[in-house]
Amino acid sequence: MEDNIQEMCERAQKAFEEVEYWPQEKVDEMVAAVGWEWQKEENVKAVAKLAVDEGEIGVYEDKLSKISNKVRGTMWDFRGVKTCGLVREDKKRGLKIYAKPFGVVANVVPCTNPEGTVCTIGLSLLKTRNAMICSPHPRTKQCSYLAVEIARKALEKVGAPVDLFQCVKNPSHAKTVELMGKCDFAMATGGDALIKVVYEAGTPAHTVGAGNVVSIVDETTALAAAANKIMRSKTANNSTSCSSENAVAIEESVYDEMMDALKAEGGYLCNSEEREKLRKAMWPDGKTLNRDIFGRPVAHIAGVAGIDIPEGTKFLMVIGEKIGPEDRFSGEKVSLVLTVWKWNDFNEMLDRLEKILDFSGIGHSASIHTKREDRMEALAIRAKVGRVECNMPHCLVNTGSWYNGQIWTESLGCGTWAGNMTSENINYRNFLNYTWLSVPVEEDIPTDEEVFGDYLKKWGKD
């Protein structure tokens, strides 16, 4: 029977048991085989085309670049990494640390990244000797299925069990819940509603959170360059990435100049009447984002809203008014719409950012364009986010790039702030258990002075 979840899990378990104790060399060959097939031009084109045609969101050319770079970047992060057997040793402390896989992992895949999530998480699971069963979004099920089929052929080529990778053909909410309940672990990329479903399944899981990136621009930065970076990031893949800027916050003294720079990059500022039309089009019921808006071209969004925009418009801008559910423009939009805020006190802006994130996007990411390192550091210290990107096109670097140091991934942990287990860019390190082997060493008990030295010097032993 098609999509027999129990049967799929049994096949995955059998495949997992076959590779559970494979040596690193054999595992790395298997990973390389799959990575090579996933980045082949003909395969990338086929998967990218299906993602756009089937999902009706995103941009084909951007999908091409994203898939190939994410696969190569993930493979590059694996260089010299040990995930099998003994991975670390501390002879002085008599410790040996052994890496162990989880087992069978359910990978719940979003429609915004039906291919990249399969590839990046899939490679990390393969690197750690885990089996993966994908539960794709119903809207993009064929794309995810194709990506898995490409990988299965690569596994077969090198003599690895093909059932290490499987994909549900006709996904549903019920099948996803059943799958997560039967697997050893779940990896779920999606919003708050999905997080609740995942944890209700009772299986250990990695989840992610919503993005609501605010890009702060101060008076020290090169405004034209910052505007270009924001435009490139905002328009990439029609802003389907959770790492796309949802707002720009501009320092008052350079506000007019920065707005002119954004307009020069194709931004169109809606007037009050147009803003209201756009609001009604994006949230018809006042709270749920219109499915016909997210990931669509700007001309389509303007058409739905009944707004006339000039030729060459790349994204829409609206002035931020309030923070919270009474003004949905202050939250995540997953569309070519950018909210604009003005500030004149950096500390006040950080306070405002905290309120924005409390409403939407806590734990995810923030951005700043500045030459002042103290402001970069203050943002990193104050903002409850897992990532802060400085002077870069945010969504093009937040999940890994060739010109910054973030780990390549498609799934961004948002920490306990968003109900997640980790705030990291989720990768191979997040799919391993460890066994610590300990042997006796020469006893070495520290003195009071060695343990409490500074305190005792100041306060004494009394």
- CA dist 93 and 440 (Å) reads 8
Tell me how many degrees the CA angle 52-53-56 measures, rounded to the nearest 5: 65
The per-residue b/e assignment along 109-139, b for 16 or more CB within 10 angstroms, e otherwise, is bbbbbbbbbbbbbbbbbbbbbbbbbbbbbeb
Contact 122, 3 (CB under 8 A): no
**Beta bridge partners of residue 100, listed in sequence order:** 433
- CA dist 433 and 252 (Å) reads 50
SS3 state at 13: helix
Contact 9, 65 (CB under 8 A): no
The per-residue b/e assignment along 227-247, b for 16 or more CB within 10 angstroms, e otherwise, is bbbbbbbbbbbbbbbbbbbbb
- CA dist 214 and 59 (Å) reads 23
- The residue from 134, 242, 270, 390 that is catalytic is 242
363-369 and 85-90 beta bridge pairing: unpaired
- CA dist 6 and 251 (Å) reads 57
SS3 state at 217: strand
From start to end of 265-407, where are the E strands? 267-269, 315-319, 337-343, 363-369, 385-390
Tell me how far apart the terminal alpha carbons of the chain are, to the nearest angstrom.
76
The per-residue b/e assignment along 296-319, b for 16 or more CB within 10 angstroms, e otherwise, is bebebbbebbebebeeebbbbbbe
Distances (CA, A) of 335 to 9, 212, 238, 270, 294: 37, 12, 7, 15, 5
267-269 and 245-251 beta bridge pairing: unpaired
Q: What is the CA radius of gyration of the chain?
A: 24
- CA dist 184 and 186 (Å) reads 7
Answer yes or no: 242 catalytic.
yes
Closest listed residue to residue 418, CA positions, set 244, 134, 190: 190
Catalytic positions: 242
